Amino acid sequence: MAEFTMELNDEQKEVRDWLHGFAADVIRPAAAEWDEREETPWPVIQEAAKVGIYSLDFYAQQYFDPTGLGIPMAMEELFWGDAGIALSIVGTGLAAVGVLANGTEEQIGTWIPQMYGDANDVKVAAFCSSEPDAGSDVASMRTRAVYDEAKDEWVINGTKTWATNGGIANVHVVVAVVDPELGSKGHASFIIPPGTEGCSQGQKFKKHGIRASHTAEVILDNVRVPGSCLLGGKEKLDERLARARERAKAGGERVKNAAMATFEASRPAVGAMAVGTARAAYEVALDYAKTREQFGRPIIDNQGVAFQLADMRTQIDAARLLVWRASWMAVNGKPFTAAEGSMSKLFASETAKKVSAQAIQILGGNGYTREYPVERMHRDSAIYTIFEGTSEVQRLVIARTLSGMAIR
C-alpha cells in the first residue's frame, strides 16, 4: 500500500509537465474556436493520440498508479487547458471505466482498444446511463434488456440521454434493466459493438458550456447484441440477481448496481477536472489583477480584490487535497466511510463555479466578454455540479453515509 503523500515523485512531475505543455500549446489555442463551433475537435484528439495522451496505455498507467494521483493529476492539467476539449479527449474513459469495473478480462482486452482506435484512425466511446426520466433517480430507468435464450442474444430497447460521444461513438456501453422488480439492483451493463443495427443518435444538445464535447441522445430500437456483450457474463449476473432477490425478501443490505460502480470510481476524477478549471480561472484573474490599473495603481493593491484572490486560491488547494485523498483511498482499497469520494466531487465542483464567477467579477466588463477566457470557464464550470451526480445528490450520499439513515 502506498503512503499518502502530497509530494509528486519525479516520474509524476515529468508527466504533469508534459501534460501541461500539451494543454498550453495545443488545447488552449484551439479552445475558443471549438467552443464557438460546438463540434468534436477531432484534430486535437488526433494530436493527443499522436503524442500518446489519447490511448489505452496512457490511461492504464495513470489508473494503476499506486499513489492514486495519476488520474487526478492528468485531469487537472488537461482541464486547465480547456474543459470542452479535455472532455472530448477523456470522455471515452468513462466507458472504459465501465468495462474495467464490470467486465471480464476477455471483454476488457477486446473492447477497450476499440474505444480508442489509433493515432491514424481515432475512435471514441460512450457510456450511456441517464434517460429522459431517469437522471439522478437511476431506479426509474426504463431501457430494458431481455435475454433471447434460443439465440444467446440480448434485445435492448430504450432511449439514453446526456451521453458524451453518444451516437458518434465506435463502442457504446449501455446500462439497462434486466429485472424490473429489483429496481436499481436489477440493472446490467452491455457493450453495443460498432455498426450494431438499431443503435442511432437522437437529439444532439446545444449546451451552455463544454461545447466542444459532443452530447446527445442514443436511441436503442430492438438492438440485438451477443450474450458475450453482457459485461461480467450471464453466470455472474444470475448470481448477483439471486443475491439481490434474497436480500429484498429479507429486507437486507443494499447492493451496488453497475452504473453506480462506474460513477463511484470516477467521481474524484470529476473533482480533479473542476480543480483544473478553477485553477485556470484563478490564474487569469491573478495576472489581470497584477497588470490592470485603476486610480493609478494595480487593482490587486485593493483589499477587496486581493482578499478574493486569497480565498480563491485557498478553496482550490482545499479542493485538490480532497480529490487527492479520495483518489488515494480508492486505489488502496480504503472504504469511503464518510463518503469521501462524494465530498471531493461536491467541494471541487462548487469551488469551480464560485472561483470562475469571482474571476469574472475581478475582470469586470472584460470578464463578461468572450475576448477573455473566464467567461467560457464560468460556463464550463456549471457542468461539474450536474453530471455524474448533482451537488444535491452528493450531499444526500454524504448525509446517508454519515447518519446511516435513509434521508430523502
Contacts (Cβ under 8 Å, ≥6 apart) of 21: none
* Pair 162, 171: CB distance under 8 Å: no
* Pair 387, 162: CB distance under 8 Å: yes
Catalytic residue, chosen from 39, 246, 388, 392, is 388
Retrieve residue 298's grid coordinates. Answer: 494595480
Pairing relation of β-strands 199-204 and 215-226? Answer: antiparallel
Distances (CA, A) of 203 to 144, 146, 217: 20, 25, 5
* Pair 271, 345: CB distance under 8 Å: yes
| 392: annotated active-site residue | no
Residue 217: φ, ψ to 5°? -80, 155
* Pair 332, 68: CB distance under 8 Å: yes
Contacts (Cβ under 8 Å, ≥6 apart) of 241: 178, 179, 182, 185, 186
Distances (CA, A) of 115 to 127, 174, 241, 254: 11, 14, 29, 32
* Pair 343, 264: CB distance under 8 Å: no
Active-site annotation, residues: 388
